[in-house]
Chain A
């Protein structure tokens, strides 16, 4: 690993100041993506500004009908949060299905969303719920935040402080997990609120997480699994890699979306087993 400077920030302004002052400085959250990237030489920042000492970035609250989750809240803390599991259990289960326990003990919401891995789970949760990403500078809607493959609307030295999730009438996330990493080969998050149905797909798109508009329209008219269109995303927009072809991903989008609708409707999941590959929440 290349040497770098390390700064432990005590507050958000302190972190932002350090990021602005030191050229090629990066925030460090749980390190579950950044540290492996440093080891492999995929990232070689001059400095890491550790957000781990900023207590105000951790925790969950319920304010004005929205669940507010601090950027440094770990996946394990979200999965185990009574407020999350009461108000938005689909989000708690999404967090509890990320990686493995040790990844969940360190990895954070802010880190996952800032990284926008095309196979990550939280981006689907944010887009599927119409969340608002709050930074030290502004608020950005999830629709505008995720701008493509590993890219976001974040400016240099901009730090995510929390994410606000509106609470829908019902929601579910279903992923077909990669056996080794648990990243989504495909994952589908569906939510239904009084005025909208949102369907967000992760793991499948060549430019990362996206909304499946045709599915949203079909479900807005008639919220039943039968109404979902098959192969509603152009194959050219879907990813082919060693885990799955674009055709297979296209098939999975439909299958997982149906399971997510069933889960929203309260049907007992036929696919509850994690180690079988697919699992419904």
Chain B
């Protein structure tokens, strides 16, 4: 076996993170999750496994939920990323976050950012999901605490809240 030292390279990428366009330098082997946590201090995106199975690292990339532990930062070049920090604010929670709080859908909270990012993707694509559809969609998000029932309830309530919010918006002409 010959071992060869491969020099890493730096790449300059342009990304829009939570609405803000920025340029950054990354190593070719930097994972998207490392980039978000270490370069931008967006530590709401978690790492829960090294097998791409737990979903703690889910962010939105170009309109789809993805596992940021299984993407290279260079692959995100030119793209739009939303992390949990870009969903709602401390003062005004997003209806999904509100529903998680109301329904007691978290305990330790480790899985929660990924769960919320995944759930938001679901209700964007399917505004009134059935319970089976919610469970099916959350296949890639593991929770060691809650037993999932309250999470499923929260997603369902958030979907309803978002739908009636949209209805109200239409009625008031907004």
Contact = CB atoms under 8 A, between A and B. Distances in A.
Given A5-B6, A32-B52, A76-B64, A100 B139 contact: yes
A32 B50 CA distance: 12
A95 B66 CA distance: 17
Contacts of A1: 29, 31
Nearest to A34: B70
Interface residues of A, number: 34
A46 B50 contact: no
Chain B: interface secondary structure? mixed
Contacts of A31: 70-72, 75
Contact of A4 (B6, B65, B141): B6
Those 3 A-B pairs whose CB atoms lie nearest each other, nearest first: A100-B140, A3-B8, A6-B28
A6 B8 CA distance: 9
B55 interface: yes
B27 interface: yes
B29 A4 contact: yes
Contact of B66 (A48, A52, A106, A274): A106
Contact of A6 (B4, B11, B122): B11
Contacts of A48: 28, 72
Interface in A98-118: 99-103, 105-106
Given A6-B28, A101-B65, A274 B70 contact: no
Nearest to B71: A31
B74 interface: yes
